Structures are given as structure tokens and as C-alpha cells.
Chain A
Amino acid sequence: MTDLPDRPTLPPYAEAMGIAIERSEKTTPILTMDFAEHVQGRPGYLHGGAISGLLEMAGFAALKAHLDAEDSNRELKPINVSIQFLRGGKSQMTYAAGRIHRVGRRNAHILVEAWQDDRENPIASAVMNILIAPAEN
């Protein structure tokens, strides 16, 4: 693992799932999740819940990186997420990255995609609305 000084940290859930930040494109973190038994649904395929977890982590990481770049210390809370499962997730590495469509003062709208072989043909996508609350501490 390379040590990137400015990369956002992932919560215990992401680490336990094997989700990692591989690199950043400009400020957008690219997350990875390797295939393993604990993310499997039907035999040989990723569980939809594991794909959802990866998508949400990528969405939060994208927004956090964006706010960090603006030196804004905020607390992020999910409002809702709508996930589209486009293809079965095969038993291989999966990547995910979020694209921020709008950041307001109170909420952000983010499009997230997960892919395997070909970024142009994602296996799943998500639209997330995230509440941006003032940090409580």
C-alpha cells in the first residue's frame, strides 16, 4: 500500500470488507474491493449488498475529498441512495468512484459507478444525496 498523505480514511466497515483507496484522480478517490467469500452472494458472484457498500463508500470518499480540499470540516450523513444493478459482479477486483454533480451548503448530489473489466460498462451505479452538517465538535 502506498502512503498518500492526503487520502481520506475509510471507516472500520470498509476496512473489514477489504475496501481500499487505490489512488486518486485529481481529487476523486478510486476505491477497490477484491473478491472474497465474505462479499459473495450467489456462488461466483458479488453480493448486491457488498456492491452497495462499495458504492456508498466511494460516494462518501468523493465528497469528503472535495470538502477536505476546501478545508471544510463537516459531518456527512446519508439522506438516501438509489442503486441500479447493471451486471452481475464477477469474482474479480471491483473499482468504484464517485462524481459530484452538485455540492450546496446543506447537501450534495453524487453519482457513483462501480466497474470491473471496463469502466465504460459499469456493473452498478448509485445516486446518493448526502446531508452536509456542521461538525459537532
Chain B
Amino acid sequence: MATAPSIFDPSKAAILLQHGHSGWLGAEYLDHGPDWVELALPWHEKLVGQPETGIIASGPIIAMMDMATALAAWTKRGKFVGQATLDLRVDYTRPAKPQHTVIGRGECYKLTKSAAFVRGIAHDGDPDDPVAHVAGVFMTLQAPRA
């Protein structure tokens, strides 16, 4: 498959983040490269999973990583195609620091006509000390035209 210049711009597509569940979470676009997208999830009371500590729940981290990796897949593909998360695995390597913004970096390492293979990390300041690692697969809803 010939590689066309990317016409999918995640910094503009990030308007998607303002609606629905993403908007409610408060996820924001930070940065991107040819096959990766970085989002930020500012700490908020409503995201807390442990009231005693103020540590955010794991659900919001999964949701942000789902978005970051989905955006990475579109960015690498160079266009928007309908896709659905087939599976997503998350390893929680340590709890996020209370009151800290969590940053999610999603990467698409392989594209086929029908699937996008993704991985990523979430961290709260130091990318070398992630709070979570993720791996997943998106299935395209319609095979993209070559």
C-alpha cells in the first residue's frame, strides 16, 4: 500500500473530544506524530475512584487510552474510517498520583485493511514511569478504499 501524506490531523479532529463521553471526561489534545497521539486528562473530583486518597478510577484512564489509540490509528492511516474497539488490555503498573493530570500516549504500530493494532502508555509526569500500559485492536467498520 502506497503511503499517502496524512490528511487526518488529530489536532483538528480533537474537536471530537469535546462531545459525548470524551467531553464529559475532559480529555484534551496535546501533541501528535506520524503514528502517535498524546492526550491529557486533567484531574477532576468526579473521576475519583478512591475517595480516601483522591486517586482517579481506572475507567477514565481506559477511556482516554481508547481515544488516544483510536486517534493514532486514524493518524497513521491518514484518514478517518469508522472503527470499533475489538479488545483493549490495560496493565496498571502503579496508581496515578492524586490531583495530577494523566497523560496518555497512544501509538498505532500496524495497520491492515481491516484492523489497527495499537499500544500505549499513561503517565502522570514521567513517561519513563507509566501508571498504565495498554494494548488493543480496532476493527474497521468498512474496509477503507485503497
Q: Contact residues of A with B, CB < 8 Å? A: 11-14, 16-17, 37-42, 47-50, 52-54, 56-57, 77-85, 88
Contacts and interface: CB of A to CB of B under 8 A. Distances in A.
Interface of B: 19-25, 45-51, 56-60, 62-64, 66-67, 82, 84-92, 95
B58 A11 contact: no
Contacts of A83: 62, 85, 87-90
A80 B131 CA distance: 11
Nearest to A54: B59
Contacts of A47: 20-22, 63, 66
Nearest to A60: B49
A14 B58 CA distance: 11
A85 B84 contact: yes
Contacts of B48: 11-13
30 contacts: A12-B48, A13-B56, A13-B60, A17-B59, A38-B21, A39-B21, A40-B19, A40-B21, A41-B21, A47-B21, A47-B22, A48-B84, A49-B21, A50-B63, A52-B59, A52-B63, A53-B59, A56-B58, A56-B62, A57-B59, A77-B92, A78-B58, A79-B92, A80-B89, A83-B87, A83-B89, A83-B90, A84-B86, A84-B87, A85-B86
